[in-house]
Amino acid sequence: MREFDVIVIGTGAGGGIAIKTLCEAGLKVCALNAGRELIPEKDFQEHRMPYDMPFRGFGSPKQRAESVGYMDNEYGPNIWEHDLAYSTAPGTRWMWPRCFAVGGKTNFWGRSSARFAEIDFKAASRDGFDVDWPVSYDEIAPYYSRIERMIGVASTVQNRPSNPDGVYLPPIRFRCRDYILQAAAEKSGIPYLPDRYAQLTVPHEGHPACHYCGNCTNGCDVGAFFSSPYFFLPKANATGNLELRTNALAREILVDSDGRAKGVAYVDRGTRREVEVYGKAVVVAASCIASAHIMLSSKSRHWPTGIGNSSGQLGRNLCDHLYGTTAFGYLPQLLGAPSFPDNVSSTSVAWLPRWQNLENPTKEKFIRGYSMYPDGGCEIFPSYYDDIEGYGSSYKAEIKRRYPTPLSFYVQAPSQRSDKNFVDIDPEKKNIYGIPEVRIHFEWDENALKMWEHAKESCREIFRNAGAIYEGHGEIESPGFSLHETGTCRMGNDPKHFVTNRFGQSHDVPNLYVCDASVFLNCTDKTTTLSILAFSLRTSEYILQNFKAGEHRSESAI
Amino acid sequence: MSGQSPSRRQVLQAFSLAAVAAATPGFSRWCYALGKAEQQPASGGGPGGAYIPKFFTPHEYRTVETLTELILPSEQGPGAKEAGVAEFIDFMVQNDSSLHEPFRSGLAWLDGAAGRQRTFTGLPRAEQTRILDRLAYKKYQRADERAGQDFFKLARQYTVMGFYTTKIGLEALDFPGLKFYATSPGCNHACDAEHTGI
């Protein structure tokens, strides 16, 4: 029976950097991935025009009905998970697009990459809500810098208390609309700055520079933005220390007679057989909810409510970003302007980083803060067509005249920890492999809803300042939409209240580690991927230390 | 997942209709609008040849052609006709059972509005536009013509979808995306940051 040094569940951001770090150090790693490998030239067809697809990119009615999110579209069918059901508690809406392909959601992520700040880690000390993180910014900062160098992040130095500056490639240039909006936002004291995006504005570490086609959300067939399969897994593979098993759906972490992790039982989705794989340590990096699902499903004599759950906090404290279009309309000063490639990154080139509650933590009606992103411009489809009255030549001319003008903003507002928001195992429902389904309980807290109201007001002001025509706002998106869920295995120093310690190691099971956003105390106003990478790198090096110190014995030369 | 465009999302939502299995598309004129010489029509004629509709009756199809060409006419550049929008709509409706009844009854509504013993396609253009004006402009709308107004909105949506997703439609917008740019394209009006003078 072969025993690996480490079994890593998941190959996305957290799993990818763990696999690379451990393999490069000489450990034998078995990586389990719940889906298939993607073939870039076949699966990433982001350069197709709408007329290259039968349904012109809108998808067949069947695909539209079954789509799990806007990314699950005619550009890339058969990439997003449809077969594995999950359950929601009565009253909970939860949209959960899962990419189980190798590399997970890093294949398609939004690429916004801001660091968390001391103001985030010590938020509880400032406003009295919840608890501080068990780490300081200074402790994490070097890991952020190393990750930024590895993946390439473009931005500028901005000197903002909530947004520590990092190591940056040159930014994407501002578009006409950015100058207009920057002036308008600044009139109200709202910052409007280049976003921090993991998109290569220059060739970087052997990866080509971006060519600004603007369809990153459907995958990049040249790998000009960070994804685990382009940036990490080939390096891990080159060491000869990696065994990647695809279509391997982790079901349970196996324990030995002392209750320590000894391996993982998974379903081979090709043969539907159950397979066991053994290792001296296990890293769970399946993404926040899926990691909690696997751990909650790992019940044994030692761990009757799930592995590492002596605190009772496993699966609890689920947080998410509230997303929604806070304003839409258009910029009349751009009517009739020449078309401009506004969507060079299929995301915002700019952001409006948190400006609330910075000096005085209780200045606003809500605690903490939110960020916003602008959107609009010359898109692939004139989706404002229904806002114009009429038909005929004048209608056609007006569609063209309005083409450069559409403007919208969307908000990224964190929910706060609540006893009401958690995941558990559904007592009745089972998925197609007979595995009891994970069940999600979630509702927006009042604090996040106050941010939503505040953001809508802020946008009205920016619209007024910009002379923009305001046409309305959208609805709050379904929870889960942001894909920024955090908190099911929070880290903290007290084993009675936290699942993992400050290094992401299980308090109960010393050879079990968590390398994704489940260890985060909350989701802050920033996106999660960069921080997943930084924290996972730190945890991976902590694992190596433990191997070197003989905590986990290995015959490998490290 | 900062990174999705809400407007794109709104479009997808606008089109999220009932499910029916997809079939092979059969565009003839439309595929010539693509500028792809290698693309052959799956059925129907070539340029100049008659397209045989898959869903609509020949009369309904002629009405769709007339209507879409009124919505996006071939004036000041190509329109619905050159882009084969009627064929696109035939394909979309054929593949989406939730659209069968709205299109069928909507086209019949237009014939009804044309008057006894007459059809919409048989009317002089001035009379056709008089009917469409009542459906398209709030100031001319009648309370008892809601059905016609709803159909017009639907037909206009599918006409826009069918036109601006073809090569000539995207060229009409001068769509700047899905291209190769050697460096990040940026604004060249930094001297006029508020863009009041452009």
pLDDT 10s digit of each residue in chain B, 198 long?
A: 443 343 444 433 333 322 222 222 323 443 334 433 334 334 444 444 579 999 999 999 999 999 999 999 999 999 999 999 999 999 999 999 999 999 999 999 999 999 999 999 999 999 999 999 999 999 999 999 999 999 999 999 999 999 999 999 999 999 999 999 998 888 887 667 777 765
- Are B20 and A61 an interchain contact pair (Cβ–Cβ within 8 Å)? yes
- As for how many domains chain B has, the answer is 1
pLDDT at residue B190, as a whole number: 66
Complex prediction ipTM:
0.92
Residue B182: inside a domain = yes
Q: How many CA atoms lie within 13 A of A332 on its CB side?
A: 9
User: Dihedral (C-alpha) A466, A470, A472, A478: value to the nearest 10 degrees?
Assistant: -20
Burial (CB count within 10 angstroms: exposed 0-12, middle 13-18, buried 19+), residue A391: buried
Q: Which residue of A has its CA nearest to B176?
A: A341
CA A28 – CA A8 distance, rounded (Å): 11
Residues 245-284 of A with CB under 8 A from B: none
Residue A556: inside a domain = no
- Assess contact for A522 and A414: CB atoms under 8 A: yes
The amino acid at A70: Y
pLDDT at residue B191, as a whole number: 65
- Assess contact for A50 and A379: CB atoms under 8 A: no
Reduce the DSSP state of residue A254 to 3 states and report it: strand
pLDDT at residue B19, as a whole number: 24
Which of A67-71, A144-148, A246-250, B148-152 is predicted least confidently?
A: A67-71
DSSP states of A199-234: B-SS-BTTBPPP---S-GGG--TT--B--HHHHTHH
Residue A142: inside a domain = yes
CA A67 – CA A57 distance, rounded (Å): 13
Residue B9: inside a domain = no
Residue B151: inside a domain = yes
- Assess contact for A102 and A37: CB atoms under 8 A: yes
Q: In this structure, are strands A422-430 and A512-514 parallel, antiparallel, or unpaired? A: unpaired
Predicted confidence (pLDDT) per residue in A314-359, tens digit:
999 999 999 999 999 999 999 999 999 998 887 779 999 999 999 9
pLDDT at residue A45, as a whole number: 84
The amino acid at B82: E
DSSP states of A415-457: ----TT-EEEEEEEEE-TTSPEEEEEE----HHHHHHHHHHHH
Please name which of A110, A321, A145 lies closest in space to residue A226, comparing C-alpha atoms.
A110
Domain of residue B185, residue span? 17-192
Predicted confidence (pLDDT) per residue in A353-386, tens digit:
999 999 999 999 999 999 999 999 999 999 999 9
Residue A66: inside a domain = no
Predicted confidence (pLDDT) per residue in A46-81, tens digit:
889 999 999 998 899 999 999 888 888 888 878 899
CA A316 – CA A486 distance, rounded (Å): 10
State the DSSP H helix or E strand holding residue A194, giving kind and residue range, or none if neither.
Answer: strand A193-194
Residue A555: inside a domain = no
Return the number of other C-beta atoms located less than 10 Å from residue A556's C-beta.
16
- As for how many domains chain A has, the answer is 1
Burial (CB count within 10 angstroms: exposed 0-12, middle 13-18, buried 19+), residue A552: buried
CA B108 – CA B116 distance, rounded (Å): 12
Residue A45: inside a domain = no
Domain of residue A121, residue span? 3-38+79-548
State the DSSP H helix or E strand holding residue A385, giving kind and residue range, or none if neither.
Answer: none
pLDDT at residue A75, as a whole number: 85
pLDDT at residue B28, as a whole number: 40
- Are A373 and B2 an interchain contact pair (Cβ–Cβ within 8 Å)? yes
User: Which tokens is A221 given?
Assistant: 């067939």
- Assess contact for A454 and A364: CB atoms under 8 A: yes
The amino acid at A456: K
State the DSSP H helix or E strand holding residue B111, giving kind and residue range, or none if neither.
Answer: helix B97-114
pLDDT at residue B189, as a whole number: 77
pLDDT at residue A278, as a whole number: 98
CA A103 – CA A29 distance, rounded (Å): 16
**pTM of the prediction?**
0.93
- Are A54 and B186 an interchain contact pair (Cβ–Cβ within 8 Å)? no
CA A26 – CA A5 distance, rounded (Å): 10
Q: Which residue of A has its CA nearest to B174?
A: A339
- Are B12 and A58 an interchain contact pair (Cβ–Cβ within 8 Å)? yes
Return the number of other C-beta atoms located less than 10 Å from residue A189's C-beta.
8
Shortest CB distance from B198 goes to which of A58, A214, A337? Answer: A337
Reduce the DSSP state of residue A122 to 3 states and report it: coil
Shortest CB distance from B5 goes to which of A176, A375, A393? Answer: A375
Which of A39-48, A265-274, A483-492 is predicted least confidently?
A: A39-48
- Are B136 and A391 an interchain contact pair (Cβ–Cβ within 8 Å)? yes
User: Which tokens is A390 given?
Assistant: 């009429």
Residue B2: inside a domain = no
- Assess contact for B119 and B98: CB atoms under 8 A: no
CB pairs under 8 A between A and B: 256
In chain B, which residues have their Cβ closer than 8 Å to the Cβ of A383?
A: 7-8, 10-11, 14
Residue A455: inside a domain = yes
- Assess contact for A369 and A458: CB atoms under 8 A: no
Q: Where are the beta strands (DSSP E) in A290-421?
A: 321-330, 350-351, 371-376, 406-414
In chain B, which residues have their Cβ closer than 8 Å to the Cβ of A410?
A: 6
Measured between CB atoms, does A68 come within 8 Å of chain B?
Answer: no
pLDDT at residue A478, as a whole number: 95
Which of A46, A53, A70 to probe the B interface (max B CBs under 10 A)? Answer: A70
Residue A54: inside a domain = no
The amino acid at A528: T
Q: What is the mean pLDDT of chain A?
A: 96
CA B125 – CA B130 distance, rounded (Å): 9
Q: What is the CATH number of the domain that holds A183?
A: 3.50.50.60
Predicted confidence (pLDDT) per residue in A251-302, tens digit:
999 999 999 999 999 999 999 999 999 999 999 999 999 999 999 999 999 9
User: Which tokens is A367 given?
Assistant: 């605690």
pLDDT at residue A2, as a whole number: 87
- Contacting residues for A394 by C-beta, under 8 A, at least 6 apart: none
- Are B176 and A410 an interchain contact pair (Cβ–Cβ within 8 Å)? no
Residue B10: inside a domain = no
